[in-house]
Amino acid sequence: MKKGKRIVFSSIITLAIVAAAFYITLPPINLQSTEFWGFLTFSVVVFGVSNLVLSINLRSAREAVGHTPISLKNNKFAIVVIVLALLPMLVILVGNISSSTFFNAKAYANVITVENAIFEEDMPETDTVSNIALMDSNSANTIGNRTLGALSNVVSQYEIAPNYAQINYLGTPKKVANLEYVGFFKWLGNRDTGIPGFVMVDPVNISAEYVELTKPMKYVDSAFFNEDLLRAVRFRYPTKILHNFSFEIDEAGNPYYIIACAKPKVGLFGALDINEVIKFDPCSGESEIYSVDSTPSWIDTVYTGYLASEKYDWYGLYANGFWNSVIGNKDCKVTTDDFGYIMIGDDVWYFTGVTSITSDESNIGFIISNARTGEYKFYPIIGAEEYSAMRSAEGEVQEKRYTASFPSLINISGEATYIMVLKDDSGIVRLYALVNVEQYTVVATGETQESAKRSYIEKLKQEGILDDELVDDPDLPVVSSATITVSDIKMPVINGETVVYITDEKGIVYKEKLSQNESLILLGVGDKIEVFYSDTSIERIKEIESFNAVNK
């Protein structure tokens, strides 16, 4: 084949293979992306190989078999192709080295600014735990799957997406996850009707509900071909470095995917940070792009907790230069291994402890980071790191073998306090736990948030951390106790929540949500229990705080 024809045919073959590869891998067409340069290398190699194959005719093949090998030593075209294939690899190598922390430690440290703040001013004393997402994603999956399992027409065709997004919906914390197709054939059979809804979990009340959409979603992660979510977004924004996808709902309950777009802030590839946000409608395929500063306030997740922690680690490690982070470690600090969520105002904030790089058992403070704006605040409170507090809470009820969730932070009577839930082996929340940050041996647990708080305050008194006259809390209900015999039990569903009503032999009714104390399900008529209760606005109806079985 003549040289001109060979180049034309190899170009056609290359275009076909590269187009197919792009359709499958979807790299950004962006000079600041290593994926782009890797894809460019692949394209050059495909062109060179196809040209080489076309240049080998049958006679040359017979000569090769007859021990007359084909030599590329003087093949200038092949040399050019090899050089062109190596150039993108060289760009990746040089770009990564020149963008590394070794040469740019100060630039990495300056990606964020951190404001020192006062804990008591930013976090007022907690009356009720209503702004803390106590439930982790594993527990959300358990409860969400249980809710979906009750819908036979849905569960047979769809599954819940594995990642729940933490959002602030109408002033309350929620976890949301959309439904997904279960494989290719389920997509093929249901693509005309689309994804019918999503699951919303209440991490405070430990409940979930399935929300059916008036207009189904077409573009999701489990769809195929042009309905695949990543492919639909990539074709609309071919040059954007897509960093993370988050499923959210707006204040009217409409579903959107929030896609954060990243851009290196140091050198060619270094210090990848968010610079734009795409709002993508999975029902219609319409989208809109914003700068971070102009992102609508109802959008909660622009920065992930992992990126927020990574950026603070740059700040904490490299403020005094690269070599100090390796040898001297003066003032070097890093975040702990995980993070929790706090709702402040209308925003979701990440919470994580900060520890010295030379210490692994205590924190020198903690940070909160705004998931939408990227703002940071540091609180210099010395105390136990989160995992020590979790072990302390688990040890309080070690005979039950409960597992603690990653804690969040609240202010109780002026004391910085870790709050977490304790779960059994099936992922069901059994107890609430409070652990003092500065003295993590001060631990209190309870079947309800209120009882845990009451027990915690009593322990603070006993340890001399708080004076008696300073801890009278008018917001805590007055708790009384009585020994009763159960004469009747009813479990109606009210506003999507199962509420247990227990009537004693005197006709007094005691109530509590089943989600707050699942051991209520074990009670039967004739059981004798000691019940701790608070009054309600109705004289003969009491609110259960906790109870103990007297006999069975």
Here the tokens at position 404 are 């603690």
Instruction: Say which residues have a Cβ less than 8 Å from residue 87's Cβ, sequence separation at least 6.
Output: none
pLDDT at 373: 96
- pTM for the predicted model, two decimal places: 0.82
Asked if residue 543 lies in contact with residue 501, where contact means CB atoms within 8 angstroms, the answer is no
Tell me the backbone φ, ψ of residue 437, rounded to 5 degrees.
-65, -45
pLDDT at 58: 44
Helix (H) or strand (E) holding 214: strand 207-217
Asked if residue 545 lies in contact with residue 533, where contact means CB atoms within 8 angstroms, the answer is yes
Q: In Å, what is the CA distance from 51 to each residue of 88, 313, 463?
A: 20, 48, 81
HSE at residue 354, side-chain half, CA atoms within 13 A, is: 29
**Which residue from 359, 385, 378 is spatially nearest to 437, judged by alpha carbons?**
385
Asked if residue 534 lies in contact with residue 543, where contact means CB atoms within 8 angstroms, the answer is yes
pLDDT at 478: 66
Here the tokens at position 171 are 């002033």
Residue with tokens 């003092």: 436
What confidence category does residue 424 fall into, taking pLDDT thresholds of 50, 70 and 90?
confident
346-349: long-range contacts, CB 8 A cutoff, minimum separation 24: 346/168, 346/171, 346/297, 347/168, 347/300, 347/371, 347/372, 347/373, 348/166, 348/167, 348/168, 348/173, 348/300, 348/301, 348/372
Comparing 185 with 414, the larger pLDDT belongs to: 185
User: Of the given ranges (70-84, 447-461, 492-506), which has the lowest mean pLDDT?
Assistant: 70-84
pLDDT digits (tens, 9 = 90+) for 212-269: 999 999 999 999 999 999 999 999 999 999 999 999 999 999 999 999 999 999 999 9
| Stretch 160-189: mean pLDDT | 92
pLDDT at 142: 80
Tell me the backbone φ, ψ of residue 443, rounded to 5 degrees.
-130, 140
* Pairing, β 541-551 against β 509-513: parallel
Length of the chain counted residue by residue = 552
Cα 200–chain centre separation? 15
pLDDT at 218: 97
Q: In Å, what is the CA distance from 109 to each residue of 175, 319, 325?
A: 32, 5, 12
pLDDT at 433: 93
pLDDT digits (tens, 9 = 90+) for 357-401: 876 678 999 999 999 999 999 999 999 899 999 999 999 988 889
Q: Is the confidence at residue 552, as pLDDT, over 70? A: no
Say if residue 132 is exposed, middle or buried (CB neighbours under 10 Å; 0-12, 13-18, 19+): buried
pLDDT at 468: 63
What confidence category does residue 342 fall into, taking pLDDT thresholds of 50, 70 and 90?
confident
The full 3-state SS of 309-352, as one line of letters, equals HHHHHHHHHHCCCHHHHHHHCCCCEEECCCCEEEEECCEEEEEE
Tell me the backbone φ, ψ of residue 288, rounded to 5 degrees.
-145, 145
Asked if residue 404 lies in contact with residue 422, where contact means CB atoms within 8 angstroms, the answer is yes
User: Of the given ranges (54-68, 159-173, 323-337, 432-446), which has the lowest mean pLDDT?
Assistant: 54-68
pLDDT at 57: 58
Here the tokens at position 12 are 């056609």
